[in-house]
Structure 1
Amino acid sequence: MIDWNYLFKIGIALFAIVNAIGSVPVFISATDGWPDAARAHVARTIALTVFTVLTLSVFIGDRLLDFFGISVASFQVGGGILLLLIAISMMHAKQSGARQTEEEAQAAAEREAVAIVPLSIPLLAGPGAISSMIIAAERSGGFWGHLSLVAPIAVVCFLVWLILLLSAPIAHRLGTIGINVVTRLMGLILAAMAVEFMARGLGSLFPGLLS
């Protein structure tokens, strides 16, 4: 039976991690001077790329963990720490280095494969988003549980496409202050999710902590 409440929770967390609204200024800067048709094409490519990366994380992420000999509990703690760092950066209305380095920001200015790097990976489908989907897949269990996670991924990617498509009017209406406020709120939600991930992982690694 599909747990819609759980999927809704995953969708909210994923939307906070991806933070498409906070990436609007980067998108506008990377596509500065492009015609509307080119921007629309890039927005669609970004959404499809993010969907592909996150869906693959759901279905083969656990196998990658097995290959490297990493336990899910350890990944939950590590992923939670990473999400917390991203959340702290978001609450300061800054781009985390875990999402985009200075070199990747310069690559955006060069407009070479801008839809894939850095706008899709790692700016939107970064380590935090990938980590959260691998952890969610482990909790869902089984093929149908994995398949159900495609629904929140698809919804978030649709919102990514819509937000980037409307990036110019969104940036104009929200302004720098508005975008920073949204980014901080998303960071607060993400920080709470990160603490849950770490607590669950530490509870599995050290069962005595739960008693």
Structure 2
Amino acid sequence: MDFKALITLLAVVNPLSALPFFIHYTEGYTKEQRRRTIMIAARTVFIVIAASALLGLHLLAFFGISLASFQVGGGMLLLTSALSMLNAQPAEARSNASEIEDSAARASIAVVPLTIPLLTGPATMSTVVIYADKAHTVLQHATLIFYGAVVALAVLLCFTLAERIARRLGKTGINVMTRLMGLVLAAIAVEIMSDGLVQLFPALAGRS
């Protein structure tokens, strides 16, 4: 399992792009409430990635979906996320205004909408499943799950330093970082789609 999987996960989760939402949702929270929200969000990110790595392929088999088809679909989803990021929007954000207001009114927003779908949504799950298929040994699967822990740690660190990072980077700085990650993600998405298309249509690679 190479570092491309880790880079892809960091790009699609992109905790920096979620900082403004985290600051907005936790406005008025005490230090303890904010700390608890951060811990729950980081744990949920890890759980989603680990569950996708361990169970994703079994779910595909259950529904009779080929990995090649999933690669094309997942790649398209990643590309959509990348295009959103290139416009400086959160990669996984899919909530409308009423849903955001309703979620913000809940006692805890750590899981919904902060972690799902803002941090880990369909694009993240698709990415993990695609890389899980490339893991052929227990060590490689363990490495993928470890990458999930690294991403969760990145979320923990970003949210803990949220106000400092926001002050340092400013809105423009966060937008620039988001666009750079979006560009990286777009290139990876095209590569994933091309792998799936070649498996579905071998003639594309000059094979019969």
Q: Tell me which interval the TM-score lies in, with the shorter structure as reference length.
A: over 0.9
Given that residues 104 and 117 in structure 1 are in contact (C-alpha distance below 8 angstroms), is that contact kept between their aligned partners in structure 2?
no
Write the letter of the residue equivalent to 1:84: L
After TM superposition, give the deviation of residue 76 of structure 1 in Å.
0.3
Identity within the alignment, %: 46
Map of 1:37 onto structure 2: 32
Cα deviation, 1:48-70, whole Å, max 9, x if unaligned, reads 01101110100100011111111
Given that residues 80 and 197 in structure 1 are in contact (C-alpha distance below 8 angstroms), is that contact kept between their aligned partners in structure 2?
yes
Mapping of 1:29-108 within 5 angstroms? 29-95=24-90, 99-102=93-96, 103-108=98-103
- The partner residue of 1:136 within 99, 109, 131 is 131
Write the letter of the residue equivalent to 1:185: L
Write the letter of the residue equivalent to 1:62: L
After TM superposition, the runs of 4+ consecutive aligned structure 1 residues lying more than 3 A away are none
Number of aligned residue pairs? 205
After TM superposition, give the deviation of residue 23 of structure 1 in Å.
0.2
- Cα distance, 1:108–1:29 mapped onto 2, change above 3 Å: farther
How far apart, CA to CA, are the structure 2 residues paired with 1:83 and 1:71? Answer: 18
Cα deviation, 1:184-204, whole Å, max 9, x if unaligned, reads 011001101100110000011
State the TM-score, normalized to the length of structure 1: 0.93
- Cα distance, 1:174–1:111 mapped onto 2, change above 3 Å: farther
Structure 2 residue 183 is matched with structure 1 residue 150:
no
Instruction: In structure 1, list runs of 5 or more residues that go unmatched.
Output: none
Structure 2 residue 185 is matched with structure 1 residue 178:
no
Map of 1:208 onto structure 2: 203
Given that residues 80 and 195 in structure 1 are in contact (C-alpha distance below 8 angstroms), is that contact kept between their aligned partners in structure 2?
yes
After TM superposition, give the deviation of residue 18 of structure 1 in Å.
0.2
Given that residues 37 and 108 in structure 2 are in contact (C-alpha distance below 8 angstroms), is that contact kept between their aligned partners in structure 1?
no
Write the letter of the residue equivalent to 2:171: T
State the TM-score, normalized to the length of structure 2: 0.94
Instruction: In structure 2, list runs of 5 or more residues that go unmatched.
Output: none
After TM superposition, give the deviation of residue 107 of structure 1 in Å.
3.0
How far apart, CA to CA, are the structure 1 residues paired with 2:14 and 2:23? Answer: 15
- Cα distance, 1:95–1:156 mapped onto 2, change above 3 Å: closer
How far apart, CA to CA, are the structure 1 residues paired with 2:44 and 2:124? Answer: 13
